[in-house]
Amino acid sequence: MVDYHAANQSYQYGPSSGGNGAGGGGSMGDYMAQEDDWDRDLLLDPAWEKQQRKTFTAWCNSHLRKAGTQIENIDEDFRDGLKLMLLLEVISGERLPKPERGKMRVHKINNVNKALDFIASKGVKLVSIGAEEIVDGNAKMTLGMIWTIILRFAIQDISVEETSAKEGLLLWCQRKTAPYKNVNVQNFHISWKDGLAFNALIHRHRPELIEYDKLRKDDPVTNLNNAFEVAEKYLDIPKMLDAEDIVNTARPDEKAIMTYVSSFYHAFSGAQKAETAANRICKVLAVNQENEHLMEDYERLASDLLEWIRRTIPWLEDRVPQKTIQEMQQKLEDFRDYRRVHKPPKVQEKCQLEINFNTLQTKLRLSNRPAFMPSEGRMVSDINNCWQHLEQAEKGYEEWLLNEIRRLERLDHLAEKFRQKASIHEAWTDGKEAMLKHRDYETATLSDIKALIRKHEAFESDLAAHQDRVEQIAAIAQELNELDYYDSHNVNTRCQKICDQWDALGSLTHSRREALEKTEKQLETIDQLHLEYAKRAAPFNNWMESAMEDLQDMFIVHTIEEIEGLISAHDQFKSTLPDADREREAILAIHKEAQRIAESNHIKLSGSNPYTTVTPQIINSKWEKVQQLVPKRDHALLEEQSKQQSNEHLRRQFASQANIVGPWIQTKMEEIGRISIEMNGTLEDQLSHLKQYERSIVDYKPNLDLLEQQHQLIQEALIFDNKHTNYTMEHIRVGWEQLLTTIARTINEVENQILTRDAKGISQEQMQEFRASFNHFDKDHGGALGPEEFKACLISLGYDVENDRQGDAEFNRIMSVVDPNHSGLVTFQAFIDFMSRETTDTDTADQVIASFKVLAGDKNFITAEELRRELPPDQAEYCIARMAPYQGSDAVPGALDYKSFSTALYGESDL
């Protein structure tokens, strides 16, 4: 027979501190050490003994009835050990040794010892409880033994948040009853006297069984009976206590209350598992819903940006020229508004979109989800390609606008020059055809004929002198046609008319000469003096006309050197005026001499010089006109010189600022690259330093705005080149946009590292070790490692990837994780993601499937009704909308496939 008597004097009937109870070593022993043991009381409190007898008897019967039997008197019915062994077999699910069927005392003692041996085999150290006391019907020992069994098999395994069994059961009760008014569970005696705690436990798990709001705290008997009757009728928990016994006892028996409450715990343990499973699923679904929301935001923002780019590119690629400079300048102003107002927000949107995409991918990796693949055409690379197309169209558009304005300016200048020369020529040809067709030689005298011949020779000389102007007019018309002048039709019509008239004049001149020469034989006398006058007056007259034409000629220049060249040419022309004046005096002297001879010889002149229409009055009038045009030309050239000096000032002003801003941007780009490689201090320090750096860059923006203002002044002045700087406004703008984007991306990279570190529980020291290892092997500071560099980095961190078959296989596995696209490069973010996955755990598809299986009652499918009962409304509907119908042979109407749904959350194939 086993000796269950211990040498020590303290009496315990629970497991010792060295037992194997649930909830941690010593929990059951610690609890029992706090109990009022039986030796100290010697005699049970009568009220407590009554409660224990009833409770323990009902608890034993709740298990014995599964074997088709029960007990009536707890200290009598266990004396032969038979029902005691049967009770242990039912509650443990194990077989005990075969009992002895004899009626003698020794047989009974042997059976009880077999039961006590089994209890001891479960890690329970029995003190002062022997088989003889049980066989003799010792009530105190029997109740102590049953309490030990209850503790071991009904309470010991209860643990909430790693608490002891008693504390775990109490914490479970407190959590379940916390939302209910007038319930404050602090112990297993007084807190249960008014019955509300029992009712709250039932209502929390089965609200349809209890009308809790109708219970009154001042009616404890009704409350207790209501809970006990509902528990017995609907929950299969036998009534273990009487309401009157609890109410009429100052302090109800703690063991009886704990026994009864443990039955409620076990009855609702399935609901507890379901709640745990539901919490896991809710957490997973919340992550998925948030990620889907971020994906939808990305798709929407990407679509808006791409739509803006698609609308803008056709406008920038529209190369249909306008007819006037004013219309083209308006298009240039519209383009400036686009650069100043419309494009900068889109640059920010593009940068933010890339940041959002990187953050989303980081969150997906951290939550063990598949990477986000935007819909076709909305990848970051697609947006970058469209953006490059936009900037190419933008650059070409600006160049086209400026070239078109130059062309129109040139066209306007040529058209005005054409009209001016055409008007002069048309004025000269006016009446010439009638003159050439006149048959005055038929009735003229010999002297008249000779005069007509000389006059015609003078006209031919004049005609030849005007040939150059006609050629100039035709050349200008041709250039206007080549430059696609909008009024080319009228220009061509007028030019053709002039050319046709010129051909007619040539033909008429030839015909008249033949007629005069035919009659010249009959004419001998000619006034040589008039002839000499005519010959000298005609070229001089042509010179004055050319001079007036040149002095009134329009000019266009773009540099100070060009205007200074025109001024020099004009000064050279003015230096010839004294010689011209002497020629004028000589010509006038010839005319005066002819008059003097005629007067001295009493010759009556018929009137004007028969050889020319250029009279002294005309010569004097045109000379006076030349004298007036010279100072006007001086003034126009000086004004243009002032304008070009102003333009030169604008060039130097822009160049001075651009030569500061351009190198500053380049320096900052190099510094950011250096900072992103060095990254000293904690991630928060790095982030703070980068944000300060970003603020310093943003604070520099007024310098860029000043440069934009200076550039606008240059464009408004139609200045097209600047030899004082190699920086254009386009270069500055692109550099500035790249600088802002680079600092924003660098900040986002550090933020994602913080997000990874915090989500994965990576310490600052680990993060610094990862960064130091990565930077050490990133020899070219390119921000990525090649395969050999990455292998060396892994070896430095303790990975066995040496060049053997096993090491190569492990390295290839790792490379497939960090470089899924086989680019041959490993970025720092991919390296951090890999290291964080290697050192931390996340939820898996298997865990989510197991949680759904709990909610489904161990079925291979789940119904919409079960989802709505177990999950919050929004998450339940989320699952219902996405779960496929279950196709198994055990399917029922409305069955949903939770396995394929769970694996899809993690981007895996069906398990």
End-of-domain residue from the set 749, 781, 797: 749
Domain boundaries, position 356: 283-418
Identity of the highest mean pLDDT range in 41-50, 575-584, 791-800, 809-818 = 575-584
Confirm whether 870 is domain-assigned: yes
**474 and 382 housed in the same domain:** no
Residue 449 has pLDDT above 90, yes or no: no
Total-model pTM: 0.51
Is pLDDT at 431 greater than 50 in this prediction?
yes
Residues 738 and 882 in one domain: no
Examine residue 4 and state whether it is found in any structural domain, yes or no: no
Q: What's the pLDDT band for 730 if we cut at 50, 70, 90?
A: confident
Spatial distance between the Cα atoms of 576 and 566, rounded to a whole number of angstroms: 16
* 500 in the same domain as 362: no
Task: Mark whether 287 and 272 lie in a shared domain.
Answer: no
E strand intervals along 751-882: 784-785, 826-827, 862-863
Is residue 599 located within the same domain as residue 496? yes
Q: How far apart are CA 587 and CA 606, in angstroms?
A: 20
Residues in the chain: 911
Locate 803 and state its tokens. 């060049």
Instruction: Identify whether 226 is part of a domain.
Output: yes
Same domain, 306 and 450: no
Is there a contact between 301 and 342 (Cβ–Cβ < 8 Å)?
no
pLDDT at residue 484 is higher than 80: no
Proportion of the chain above pLDDT 70, given as a percent: 88
The 8-class DSSP code of residue 338 comes to I
Task: State residue 784 phi and psi, 5-degree precision.
Answer: -155, 150
Closest to 349 in 3D by CA, of 308, 292, 314: 308
pLDDT of residue 603 exceeding 50, the answer is no
Strands 895-897 and 884-885: antiparallel
Question: Do the Cβ atoms of 673 and 781 come closer than 8 Å?
Answer: yes
Which helix (H) or strand (E) is 369 found in, with range? none
In this prediction, residue 292 carries a pLDDT of 86
Domain-embedded: residue 458: yes
What are the φ/ψ torsions at residue 587 (nearest 5 degrees)?
-65, -45
What pLDDT, on a 0 to 100 scale, did the predictor assign at position 59?
A: 92
pLDDT of residue 909: 47
Contact 101, 95 (CB under 8 A): no
The per-residue pLDDT for 18 is 32
Element (H, E) at 865: helix 864-870
Q: What separation in angstroms does the CA of 852 have from each of 271, 808, 889?
A: 13, 39, 19
- 444 token code pair: 């003229």
Res 476 pLDDT > 60: yes
User: Which region among 521-525, 653-657, 794-798 has the lowest average model confidence (pLDDT)?
Assistant: 521-525
Give the HSE-up count for residue 8: Cα atoms under 13 Å, Cβ half-sphere.
Answer: 7
* pLDDT at site 44: 52
Query: In whole numbers, what is the pLDDT of the chain averaged over residues?
Result: 81
Task: Map 475-532 to HEC letters.
Answer: HHHHHHHHCCCCCHHHHHHHHHHHHHHHHHHHHHHHHHHHHHHHHHCCCCCCCHHHHH
Helix (H, G, I), strand (E, B) or coil at 860: coil
Positive or negative torsion for Cα 885, 888, 892, 897: negative
Of the pLDDT bands very low, low, confident and very high (cuts 50, 70, 90), residue 605 is low
CATH of the domain at 178: 1.10.418.10
Domain of residue 718, CATH code? 1.20.58
Name the domain count of the chain. Answer: 6
pLDDT digits (tens, 9 = 90+) for 246-262: 888 889 989 889 898 98
DSSP assignment of 816-833 equals HHH-TT--S-EEHHHHHH
CATH number of the structural domain spanning residue 535 = 1.20.58.60
Say if residue 633 is in the same domain as residue 774: no
Q: Which pLDDT score, from 0 to 100, does residue 451 have?
A: 81
CA-nearest of 828, 689, 702, 681 to 765 is 681
Give yes or no for residue 847 having a pLDDT over 90: no
> Same domain for 387 and 495?
no
611 half-sphere exposure, CB direction, 13 A CA radius: 23
How far apart (Å, rounded) are the C-alpha atoms in residues 840 and 834?
Answer: 10
Structural domain ending residue among the three candidates 749, 773, 798: 749
**CA torsion through residues 113, 118, 119, 125, sign:** positive
Secondary structure (3-state) at 614: coil
Measured distance CA(304)–CA(294) in Å, rounded: 15
Question: Hey, what amino acid is at 378?
Answer: R
Q: How far apart are alpha carbons 718 and 594 in whole angstroms?
A: 58
| Cβ-based burial of 798 (10 A; exposed 0-12, middle 13-18, buried ≥19) | exposed
The CATH number of the domain holding residue 869 is 1.10.238.10
User: Is the per-residue pLDDT at 220 higher than 80?
Assistant: yes
Among 242, 259, 276, give the residue marking a domain's end.
Answer: 276
Whether residue 32 lies inside any domain: the answer is: no
